[in-house]
Chain A
Amino acid sequence: MPWSREDMAARAARELQDGFYVNLGIGIPTLVANYIAPGMKVVLQSENGMLGIGPFPYEGEEDPDLINAGKQTVSELEMSSYFSSADSFAMIRGGHIDMAVLGAMEVAENGDLANWMVPGKMVKGMGGAMDLVAGVKRVVVVMEHTSKDGEPKFKARCELPLTGTNVIDMVITDLAVFSRATRKDPFKLIEIAPGVTAEQVRAKTTAHYLG
């Protein structure tokens, strides 16, 4: 049984450490906030200028001036702070954020990431993704193992326009987890979803990896 979106988010949450400052991308990465271990202090950063993102507000308490980078209404915590976009990216680019969890269209075996455009088809923009992968200490990708057409997304080389080169440390998919100790190392298969075999993972992956 492949992992669900929730399972993948929970797996990514296991990479968090007490005291981490973390940026979560849009989609499955946002769900990681639901699986922070009890008693662990993790501070969430939002590109639009907030540290200490709280949960979604109760009905009637939503505030148009209080949103996350996905434009969703959020709430404030006692430790929250606000700052400008330039300050926000000084934190990100300057290496002050411990970990980022992002979605991806493609990841390559050399750690390249593509997640911002499909030429001629989808024009949305990179938002803060290029800044995050360039500056955050550890970058974890959470994505489906294959595209809607069944094409592998963990590949020998990215074919889509890149978000960054050699920037990914861990890949969590619905089938498996790949990790590497440093950005000079190759990826290694370290976990497989229950009921999925190593051969099935291999068949749906064109990236070269160990294990």
Chain B
Amino acid sequence: MSSSKVYPDAASALRGIIRDGMTLCCGGFGLCGVPDKLIAALHDSGVRDLTVVSNNAGTDGEGLGLLLKSRQIRKMIASYVGENKEFERQYLAGELELEFNPQGTMAERVRAGGAGIYAFFTKVGAGTLVAEGKEARVVDGETYILETGIVADVSLVKAWKGDTEGNLIYRKTARNFNPNMATAGRITVAEVEELVEPGVLDPDGIHTPGIYVQRIIDGSPYDKKIEKRTLRKRQEGAHAVVA
């Protein structure tokens, strides 16, 4: 029983592994594929001074926006924080530390951290504010800057299906940063829409092998939010996009 990865709920899955000042990697893009149940439990725990690595910061009161509103985040590492007025306010008022990473650099830093790569050279951000204070190297006339891998105390991810061994399958674009974040946590906690017994998921279709996941919960039911509902009219052509 003690070796089981399965916890009854989000609060119990976080017990004993969260503390003030810790670094957290969090999956999700916009409001899509965000580990909302674990974030809500983090909110309820009252843990403070968090450094959070996540592409976005949710919207006001949704996703990580919940932790911003309650002032539990001290520093964000992110690529895009639009759609969140409270974030912008805290940052411009100097209440919140913010480190902007180009989105792909952030994804690769997390991938590298999870894969045991200390740092890598990339041309992304060379000659911009992102390069300030970073080692640069010129190879064949092209400037590359040194970016370090990211390892988190705890990673929080959201998947569609998971089994009790921690194997995960994501659905459509809700995959996004989740598989990368899952590898970068010293402890990774996953919430899934459907938790099944081993043998149910096709081993060939696993996106995140269970070795990366230490704790897992069945987070159902889910009420998934849409940030921008864009629709096409029935008579429009197959490729019509309206913006």
Contacts and interface: CB of A to CB of B under 8 A. Distances in A.
Interface of A: 27, 30-31, 33-34, 36, 46-50, 55-59, 62-68, 70-74, 76, 82-86, 88-90, 92-93, 120, 123-131, 134-135, 161-165
Interface string B112-155: 00000000001111111110000000000000000000000000
A42 to B, nearest CB: 9
Contacts of B230: 56, 62, 72-74
Given A55-B236, A55-B240, A93-B124, 16 more contacts: A31-B241, A49-B175, A50-B172, A56-B242, A65-B173, A66-B173, A71-B29, A72-B230, A73-B228, A123-B92, A125-B78, A127-B80, A128-B79, A130-B125, A134-B126, A165-B126
Interface residues of B, number: 64
Nearest to B236: A55
Interface stretch (B15-23, B98-106, B198-206): B98-106
A195 B230 CA distance: 35
A49 B31 CA distance: 15
A179 B31 CA distance: 38
B107 interface: yes
A123 B83 CA distance: 10
A125 B80 contact: yes
A126 B79 contact: yes
Contacts of B79: 125-128
Contact of B227 (A34, A71, A83): A71
Point out which of B31, B124, B173 has the most chain A C-beta atoms below 10 A from its C-beta: B173
Given A30-B241, A72-B243, A92-B104, A56 B31 contact: no
A36 B240 CA distance: 10
Contacts of A72: 228, 230, 243
The 7 A-B pairs of least Cβ separation, nearest first, read A89-B104, A131-B104, A64-B224, A130-B102, A165-B127, A124-B82, A125-B80
A70 to B, nearest CB: 7
Contacts of B243: 27, 30-31, 72
Contact of B81 (A83, A123, A130, A161): A123
Contact of B107 (A34, A36, A85, A162): A85
Contact of B224 (A33, A65, A89, A135): A65
B104 A93 contact: yes
